[in-house]
């Protein structure tokens, strides 16, 4: 299915621009290498995102605030396992796809979902946009920051608790790691 997104959405609150190419090009003040507009642009430029992959770029911009969004026709590459929801929708005769998501694609790393100062304003406008668009089954913001979680909760969004496993590297190299093990474990 091919989607041709609208380029502008006006609500009583604001005028929201909708882009099919992510225009934010600056790195963020973050230690996350994926929290950089150039990463999303690279994925778009190499055609890892688009109609052919089920990740249709659908980015929102309000003044100097941006959020990378995608209309999804499947759940691959999100690292949030909502297949049971898709199955339930199917069993009761509803379509789970397309859905609107905001995240860094293919990256299960918490990072800012919204870039800029007007986080509340843009998330409110995106919520209004989602509610007005009948073909979209749901709206998901994945792997966002705690600040964004608080804003979303104030807007009536539900949070989903998931488990993430993080590797904390306490060693300077592999030899240092091996030296920290007991001799019996080093042999294995």
Residue 20 confidence (pLDDT): 76
Q: Are 148 and 113 in contact (CB under 8 A)?
A: yes
What is the distance of C-alpha 49 from the center of its chain? 13
pLDDT, position 5:
52
Alpha-carbon distances, residue 7 vs 17, 33, 58, 82 (angstroms): 6, 29, 9, 29
Q: What is the full per-residue pLDDT of the chain (188 aa) written as tens digits?
A: 444 555 555 555 567 777 777 766 665 556 677 777 788 888 888 999 888 899 988 888 888 888 888 999 999 888 888 889 999 999 999 999 999 999 888 888 888 888 888 888 888 888 888 888 768 888 899 988 899 999 999 988 888 887 877 788 889 998 888 888 877 766 66
Q: What residues contact residue 179 under an 8 Å CB cut-off, 6+ apart?
A: none
* Domain ranges across the chain: 8-187
Please tell me the predicted confidence (pLDDT) of residue 167: 80
Which pLDDT value is given to residue 58?
Answer: 85
The span from the CA of 169 to the CA of 165, in Å, is: 13
pLDDT attached to residue 11: 54
- Of 65, 56, 54, 71, the closest CA to residue 17 belongs to 65
CA angle 121, 122, 125 (to 5 degrees): 90
Q: Model's pTM, two decimal places?
A: 0.77
Domain 8-187 part of CATH 3.40.50: no
């Amino acid at each position: 299915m091919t989607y041709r997104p609208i380029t502008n959405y006006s609500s009583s609150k604001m005028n929201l621009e909708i882009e099919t190419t992510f225009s934010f090009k600056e790195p963020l003040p973050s230690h996350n290498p994926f929290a950089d507009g150039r990463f999303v642009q690279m994925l778009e430029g190499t055609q890892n995102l688009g109609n052919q992959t089920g990740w249709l770029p659908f980015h929102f911009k309000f003044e100097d605030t941006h959020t990378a969004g995608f209309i999804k026709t499947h759940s691959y590459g999100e690292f949030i396992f909502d297949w049971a929801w898709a199955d339930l929708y199917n069993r009761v005769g509803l379509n789970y796809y397309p859905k609107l998501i905001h995240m860094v694609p293919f990256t299960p790393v918490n990072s800012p979902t919204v870039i800029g100062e007007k986080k509340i304003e843009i998330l409110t406008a995106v919520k209004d946009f989602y509610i007005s668009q009948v073909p979209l089954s749901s709206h998901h913001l994945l792997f966002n920051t705690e600040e964004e979680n608080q804003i979303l909760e104030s807007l009536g969004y539900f949070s989903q608790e998931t488990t993430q496993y993080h590797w904390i590297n306490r060693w300077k190299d592999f030899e240092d790691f091996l030296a920290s093990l007991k001799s019996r474990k080093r042999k294995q």
